[in-house]
Amino acid sequence: MLAVEKVSRIFQGGKAGFKNVNLSLEKGEVVGVLGTSGCGKSTLLRVLSGLDENFEGEIKTEANDPNQAFGMMFQEPRLMPWLNVWENIVFGTGKKDKKQEAFELMKTVGLEGFENHYPKDLSGGMAQRAAIARSLLIRPEILLLDEPFSALDAFTKMQLQDLLLDIFEKHQTTTLLVTHDIDEALYLCDRVIIMRGQPGRIESQITVEAKRPRKRGDSYLAELKQDVLKELDFTKE
């Protein structure tokens, strides 16, 4: 579904960004990206989404419509305060004529009945639910998630992680998730890619063999967490 071949994005000074990244995603696969701060994880998503075109290398996708291949969800909901929930979900998607589709997505993410509320009336978790619905409305074949739950409390984060699992099951959307949360990556993803350095490079990857849904605190996931921690050891050259 997605192939990234020798892609680099280096900023002024030569350290920030990432270099020679090679990765591939199969259709319906959920892949996580973990790494040290400043290794270019979020920059990688910006390049893939088309928000940053100053890169070298090649990005290939098997999407039916390359112009609508990617859906992006940021760390913050980025809702327009003067628009209500429904208006925010359809904003910028060209889907204003698909009112029923938008309402179905609101129902999926648990916002049924809140379509006329404004962002100031929403909790952080509800705002992120609206952002999830917006990212799915264009029916992207590849969903890019940039630490979508990092600002939420632990309980709300777990609720939305389980919501994502339901969406993965229902839509079979190929997904690339950037996160700092090792437990989140192991709970949600089929594979976890480890990035290190400045500029960042892919250090290794870990395959999660357990089928979803998984149990939080599972001993197998705990063992994998130790492997990830070793890979992220700051003393490693």
Per-position pLDDT tens, the chain of length 237? 889 999 999 988 777 899 999 999 999 899 999 988 888 999 999 999 888 888 999 998 887 776 678 888 888 888 999 999 989 988 766 655 667 788 888 888 989 999 999 999 999 999 999 999 888 887 888 999 999 888 889 999 999 999 999 988 888 889 999 999 999 999 999 999 999 988 889 999 999 999 988 999 899 999 999 999 988 874 344
Predicted local confidence at residue 146, as pLDDT: 93
Question: What's the pTM value of the predicted model, to 2 decimals?
Answer: 0.89
What's residue 151's pLDDT? Answer: 82
Give 18-64 pLDDT, tens digit per residue: 999 999 999 989 999 998 888 899 999 999 988 888 899 999 888 77
Tell me which architecture the domain covering 2-69+140-231 has in CATH: 3-Layer(aba) Sandwich (3.40)
Distance CA 26, CA 191 (A): 11
Write out the two tokens for 163: 């919501």
Looking at the DSSP bridge assignments, the partners of residue 194 are: 34, 204
Do strands 30-35 and 191-196 pair parallel, antiparallel, or not at all (unpaired)? parallel
What pLDDT, on the 0 to 100 scale, is given for residue 168? 86
> What's the confidence (pLDDT) of residue 66?
64
pLDDT of residue 172: 86
Q: What is the Cα–Cα distance from 136 to 98, expressed in whole angstroms?
A: 13
CA distances from 110 to 19, 35, 96, 129 (A): 40, 31, 20, 7
Q: For residues 116 and 85, is the Cβ–Cβ distance under 8 A?
A: yes
3-state secondary structure of 158: helix
DSSP track, 24-37: EE-TT-EEEEEE-T
The pLDDT value recorded for residue 234 is 43
Q: What is the reported pLDDT for 222?
A: 93
In the chain, where the domains are located: 2-69+140-231, 80-139
* Per-residue model confidence (pLDDT) at position 95: 53
